[in-house]
Structure 1
Amino acid sequence: MEINDIPQDNSKIFRGQRKVVYATQDGNYQTATSNGWETEEFATEQAVEELNQLTNEALDAVKRGEKSPLFYYMYRYRFDLPSLAQATGFWQWQIKRHFKPSVFEKLSDNVLAKYAEAFGVSTSTLKTI
């Protein structure tokens, strides 16, 4: 894309900020800035809406006693299973197991501390909704 063709749609998701993008000028790549692109804004809003829906569904599952608070916090802080595994160092199968309320209740303080650090909350917060 040429520098002059970079969209400048003043996207509300950027909140007045600008984003660095690569574009060409005279056949050479250079950095330039954009204040948003309508298509990108639409895609971002769709993704956020889906994450909000997953968060609400997770909260309902926790309230029904089907899942541990960890399941809710995973979505609340915009993680998915692979990214949470990467952030904590746990295997995905371990995290899935920790979603079970009976297993979650028995987790050690060290394990809870790893999750709390990934979410940026205290371990006491992690234990409740």
Structure 2
Amino acid sequence: MKKSDVPQDESNLEKADLRELCYAVDENGEYVTQHTTGWDPKTIALNNAIDAIKERVENARAKVLAKETSPIEYYMELNKMDLSVLASYVGMWKWRVKRHFKPSVFKKLSRRTLQKYADTFDITIDQLQNIES
């Protein structure tokens, strides 16, 4: 794309006073860097992804409040993690972390295990155990 054609559409970058760096072709046919505030298709895709994440977080929160899952699943979603990522951060097998999603198992976790999760989510054990309604 030509340097003059680099889109400068309204986006979340612009609202945060940020710009993205991309490559374009100048008048001499050379590749140069050019800043952009964003472009509509990318903004739409990012907004859809953010909405999907928010929905997953709210679903996990509702499941915690209904005692269908433990707060670990909620905080995993809130921190934009998946089971594999969370398991690697806490140094446990995925099946073990998934087992900790069960409220009955979560209640019996040791303080040491709870601390691993709390440290991973950068919260206190009390915050991990008590999600406000």
| Gapped regions of structure 1 (runs ≥ 5) | none
Partner-residue secondary structure (3-state), 1:8: coil
Q: Which residues in structure 2 correspond to 1:1-129 (within 5 Å)?
A: 1-11=1-11, 13-14=12-13, 15-25=15-25, 26-28=29-31, 30-129=32-131
* Counterpart contact for 2:20–2:38, Cα < 8 Å: no
The offset of 1:70, in angstroms, is 0.9
Q: In 2 relative to 1, CA 10–86 (structure 1 residues): closer, same or farther, beyond 3 Å? A: farther
Q: In 2 relative to 1, CA 111–5 (structure 1 residues): closer, same or farther, beyond 3 Å? A: farther
* Counterpart contact for 2:20–2:36, Cα < 8 Å: yes
The one-letter amino acid paired with 1:64 is A
Give CA deviations for 1:27-67 in whole Å, capped at 9, x if unaligned. 44x44322112111111111111111111211121122111
Under a length normalisation based on structure 2, what TM-score does the superposition of the two structures give?
A: 0.80
Q: CA RMSD in A?
A: 2.0
Cα distance in 1 for residues equivalent to 2:54 and 2:75:
12
Partner-residue secondary structure (3-state), 1:78: coil
Cα distance in 2 for residues equivalent to 1:116 and 1:32:
42
Partner-residue secondary structure (3-state), 2:123: coil
* Counterpart contact for 1:21–1:32, Cα < 8 Å: yes
The one-letter amino acid paired with 2:84 is P
Under a length normalisation based on structure 1, what TM-score does the superposition of the two structures give?
A: 0.82
Report how many residues are paired: 127
Identity across aligned pairs (percent)? 35
Moved more, 78-87 or 93-102: 78-87
The offset of 1:80, in angstroms, is 2.1
* Counterpart contact for 1:70–1:126, Cα < 8 Å: yes
